Amino acid sequence: MERATVIVAIDGPSGTGKSSTSKAVAAQLGLSYLDTGAQYRAITWWMVTNGIDIDDPSAIAAVAGKPEIISGTDPSAPTITVDGTDVAAAIRTQDVTSKVSAVSAVPEVRARITELQRSIAADAENGIVVEGRDIGTTVLPDADLKIFLTASPEARAARRSGELKSTDVQATREALLKRDAADSSRKTSPLAKADDAVEVDTSDLTLQQVIECVVTLVEEKRAAK
């Protein structure tokens, strides 16, 4: 029997497990995978590399259409290039992380990246898991399933510190909360839970438990289509 195409939106604050969960769910169910944070990081990297003043939204807006960002959507090997350069490692630096909220708040940047995201989702033959901050509310409001992942700041800081091999969990916690506050308070499509999203608190769940929970929700939606 043909499986129904399914579009899944996974949103939530930093460190709640969006990327790890989305990749695993997509791989398990044979779906494409799109990391929209990587796209905002990529455009931020381009602005920094080209000497654009990050504190000047009009300077960012004027060049928002210039970089060509290409996302590979295989969940077992996602890729991201800017003007043909592989930036997968470069977009994860502390410098980019500290500037991405300012760049992604510029409406012209969001319009450009949102259009790209919609076109990638429309081209995904078997369906796609798209993760970010505004996927359920703005990018794909008609998604078949919307998930909003949460976790306590303590759990998120502990996870992120483990990943970065940092012992300063308090500093990591403050940096996470600062980025969440900026992403939640911007005017254009802020980080928010869609009214029809299923909220999953991952604080006391293992990654495997979160993956199983989301796979079950997707399977239920597919069966009902």
Ligand X SMILES: Nc1ncnc2c1ncn2[C@@H]1O[C@H](COP(=O)(O)OP(=O)(O)OP(=O)(O)O)[C@@H](O)[C@H]1O
Ligand Y SMILES: Nc1ccn([C@H]2C[C@H](O)[C@@H](COP(=O)(O)O)O2)c(=O)n1
User: Which stretches of the chain bind ligand X, using CB under 6 A?
Assistant: 12, 14-20, 37, 159-160, 163, 202, 205-207, 210
Question: Shortest Cβ distance from residue 84 to ligand Y (Å)?
Answer: 21
Q: From CA 129, how far away is CA 140, in angstroms rounded?
A: 11
State the CB neighbour count (10 A cutoff) for residue 80: 20
- Residue 202 interacts, among ligand X, ligand Y, none and using kind-specific CB cut-offs from 5 to 8 Å, with ligand X
Q: Closer to ligand Y by CB, 37 or 127: give it.
A: 37
Euclidean distance between CA atoms 106 and 135, whole angstroms: 17
Residue 101 touches which of ligand X, ligand Y, none (Cβ within 5-8 Å per kind): ligand Y
CB of 164 to ligand X, least distance (A): 9
58 assigned ligand-binding residue: no
Is the Cβ of residue 52 or residue 131 nearer to ligand X in the bound state? Answer: 131
The type of residue at 125 is E
Residue that is written with structure tokens 């303590």 in the block? 154
Site residues (vs ligand Y, CB under 6 A): 14, 36-37, 40-41, 100-101, 104, 132-135, 179, 183
Q: Which is nearer to ligand X, 62 or 164 (CB)?
A: 164
Please give the Cα distance from 80 to 94 (Å, whole number).
18
Q: Which entry of ligand Y, ligand X, none binds 206, CB below 5 to 8 A by partner kind?
A: ligand X
Q: Is the dihedral of CA 193, 181, 108, 88 positive or negative?
A: negative
CB of 187 to ligand X, least distance (A): 21
Give which of ligand Y, ligand X, none residue 171 binds (C-beta under 5 to 8 Å, depending on kind): none
Tally of CA atoms within 13 A in the half-sphere of 150 that contains its CB: 9
Exposure string of 181-205, with b = 16+ CB inside 10 Å and e = fewer, is: ebbeebeebebbbbeebeebebeeb
Instruction: Give the residue numbers of the binding site.
Output: 12-20
